[in-house]
Chains A and B, each alone.
Chain A
Amino acid sequence: MSTMSLGKALNSGLRRAMEHDPKVVLMGEDIGKLGGVFRVTEGLQRDFGDRRVIDTPLAESGVIGTAVGLAMRGYRPVCEIQFDGFVYPAFDQIVSQVAKLHYRNEGRVTVPLTIRIPFGGGVGAVEHHSESPEAYFAHTAGLRVVTPSNAADGYRMIQQAIASDDPVVFFEPKRRYWEKGEVDDDGALSDVPLERAVVLREGDQVTIAAYGPMVATALHAAHIAEGEGTSVEVIDLRSLSPIDFATLEASVHKTGRLVVAHEASVFGGLGAEIAARISERCFFHLEAPVRRVGGFATPYPASRAEDHFLPDADRILHEVDRCLQP
């Protein structure tokens, strides 16, 4: 066991994946000598060479499109998109090619591509550097979408994503890059499947489902609620496509109340899908409507106003209260 930040855990996970499989190659802008703008690939080009850690021209569609060709040649590319707001030039390649090639080839071609995207706000960045575009990708059949919330999961999940024969969009909660945790980096790889949600904190009155950067906020909210005498269960979804509804259902059967929290705008977000499905499946177990808390129906605001846009523990607890007093 080691204590390390999420960023370092991802770096260690990438290193281990590269050691494990010589077909794993990293591609992206500034990932070589610089080690990526968040240093997630730090030292990897030095140790694996510039044929396995490849700096690319500044063209996101080009990064993904060439990675598709590499995958068809038998490689297992891991692409870094520098920031969430810069993924859109690659959207066509991701949606029309990466996601669909296995289907369009009736299973004869696999695209074992991992697309790493630092996402979310809370770091005081300028525009286009704080977005949460996960719903676009979760809506696209053929992609798997996952996000770790902590260092231990970062280390394990990046290796699982790379080992998957399906394309995985791997969202990294950038404001949690520097948060440290215990990482089991000397044992065998986790046997928790990539698509499994986990209960991080048990409770019996309200369930909060969160993912990525909002998990820590949800845990904080649960801690405050406990002090106020409310027992809150916190689920880290980890996988956004598919979503582990079995774990959510089991929790809602127990608590009868669900709040879904994410940074992305509530309208058309993953909370909507979760609310609809849980309402369909757990209607007679619910004591209150499923509630959602997330960003407003605005573009991501100027950073000095972002604390109003991003749900904090208080806004989550506000929805918890509304569940308890419907």
Chain B
Amino acid sequence: MKYPCRAQLVKGVQVTTAPVRVPDTRIPEWTGFDGLVQLISVDGQRTVGCPYWELVGDVDANQLRDLYRDMAIVRRIDAEAMALQRQGELALWAPLLGQEAAQVGSARALRHDDFVFPSYREHGVVYCLGVDPVQMLRLWRGAGLSGWDPDVHGIATPAIVVGSQPLHATGYALGVTLDGANSAALTYFGDGATSEGDVAEAFGFAASYVVPVVFFCQNNQWAISEPVRLQSHTSIVQRGRGYGIPGIQVDGNDVLAVLAATRLALARASAGEGPTLIEAVTYRMGPHTTSDDPTRYRSAAQDEEWRAKDPLARLSALLHTEGLADEEFDRQVESDASAVSAALRAGCLAMPDPEPADLFDHVYAEPHALLQEERDAYAAYLAEFDEGA
């Protein structure tokens, strides 16, 4: 243990508003650890010696079971949405299968006043932030362009333009600094997005202004058909270092390790230490979206290799091995997930289509003459049909 105040940090991350002093911005030197952070092995054993254990020292059996329940429900939401798309009820769906630990682990590290800027695959994060899963589907069903109030849930509407949102998180974090607050912004993006100029600009701005932002990259190995090696010849986590942004590479299928890494990054942010880049190494088990066909570009062998690292299976193994879960627990989780899934389906089918007049709403916050003219003209046009009938 290199720094005496590490315990203080561990205590600090559990308190939302307490300022936390982080001893060193150079994470590997602080933790004495520069490898892939893993707390639960692929076969469900607790790893020994990783200093990140201290960051999750408070996670008891109940919390472990809750993390498992979250992941199981999120997986079921994802499966139900896939089915709804195949049945023609959704225009598109971007499945998260395989990334449950990366999303639940990071989302459960958030404090109540943090704010998230997600991409389009973060259904697990959205779920953890208390959004009704039905509302997640509005965008994908074409019933609306968003599903929730960002201010109520602390999460922005998903960014479909790849890599556009880390700049928003950086600006939001700059606002946090200007406000003198000690919350943080956290933004999710994928390995493909790291090639976008906006992500590079976000790294530059965030490092220069030392703002409280966490860059959370889910490296799921594939950007549609393009493997991560096409995006980068170094590991993703190394890409922050040229900007002076410390990085943590974490096993993205290990929910506890992700929780620990994200807590550390958020604590650094709140302590005024600036941005952190987290690379959660995971795998997109499904297609990019329901329009994709991964059999054209990747091998079944790779899928098999990653199936063995399944994030739910490994936590389940740990819970059962350590006697923290039994068959009754499994049945209850299954029942909870089924209930969420049934409500999701019913809510989706009941979702109304937008009215013609709705499409003119909220283009501008203040009155706009041209738009009003078009709205009136179109309403009059539609009214002619009513009169004819």
Contacts and interface: CB of A to CB of B under 8 A. Distances in A.
Interface of A: 25, 51, 56-57, 59, 61-62, 64-75, 89, 92-93, 96-97, 101-110, 112, 141-142, 144, 164-166, 195, 241-246
A144 to B, nearest CB: 7
Interface in B197-229: 197-198, 201-202, 204-205, 208
Interface centre among A25, A70, A89 (most CB of B within 10 A): A70
Contact count band on B: 35 or more
B178 A75 contact: yes
Interface string B167-180: 11111111110110
Contact of B146 (A62, A70, A96, A106): A106
Interface centre among B164, B172, B364 (most CB of A within 10 A): B364
Nearest to B367: A195
A93 B178 contact: no
Contacts, number: 143
Interface string B156-191: 110001001001111111111011000001000000
B293 interface: no
A73 B175 contact: yes
B362 A69 contact: no
Contacts of B371: 141, 242
B233 interface: no
A30 B318 CA distance: 56
A110 B201 CA distance: 23
A69 B150 contact: no
Contact of A103 (B145, B168, B178): B145
A65 B171 contact: yes
A72 B204 contact: no
B145 A73 contact: no
Given A57-B204, A69-B185, A97 B366 contact: no
Nearest to B370: A242
Interface string B131-169: 000000000000011100111000011000100100111
Interface string B37-66: 000000000000000000000000000000
B327 interface: no
B175 A69 contact: yes
B205 A62 contact: yes
B300 interface: no
B169 A69 contact: yes
B164 A92 contact: yes
A65 B363 contact: no
Given A57-B204, A57-B208, A106-B361, A69 B157 contact: no
A242 B174 CA distance: 32
15 contacts: A65-B168, A65-B198, A66-B167, A68-B167, A69-B173, A70-B174, A70-B175, A72-B156, A73-B171, A73-B179, A97-B168, A102-B362, A112-B365, A142-B364, A241-B370
Contacts of B146: 104-106, 108
A108 B151 contact: yes
B389 interface: no
Contact of A195 (B151, B170, B198, B369): B369
Contacts of B2: none
Interface centre among B149, B150, B157, B369 (most CB of A within 10 A): B369
A242 B172 contact: no
Nearest to B139: A104
A51 B176 CA distance: 12
A244 B369 contact: yes
A57 B361 contact: no
Given A103-B362, A105-B157, A62 B198 contact: yes
